[in-house]
Amino acid sequence: MTFPGDGELLRRGFSKGEIWDLWVSKLEVLSIVNGCGVMLTHPEPGFSDTPEMISFYERFIAYALSRYQPWVGLPKELAEWLKPHSQKLAV
């Protein structure tokens, strides 16, 4: 599941509190279904690369780590993990 992009949500007028609530609700769903979440950010100068937004990302990641203990990895690391497991995961 991809988390709704922060930049798009900010452009649409969502407050940081609303973004937080939306992202936390997605974490809850992922936890229930043992799912995989992808957070993609593109900090844009003067928009989402501000110290306030960087702090927001840090707080959210800290929250996710403390509450759900997720595995956090880069796409390459996920691909490496999936190789030996791909036959078991095929639908």
Measure the CA–CA gap between 28 and 41, rounded to whole angstroms: 20
pTM of structure: 0.74
Residue-level pLDDT, tens digit, the chain, 91 residues: 678 888 888 889 999 899 999 999 999 998 898 888 888 777 777 667 788 888 888 999 899 999 888 888 888 998 898 888 777 665 5
User: With 0-12 CB in 10 A as exposed, 13-18 as middle and 19+ as buried, what is 23?
Assistant: buried
Q: How far is residue 55's CA from residue 64's CA, in Å, rounded to a whole number?
A: 14
Separation in Å, CA 10 to CA 15, 44, 78, 87: 7, 12, 29, 40
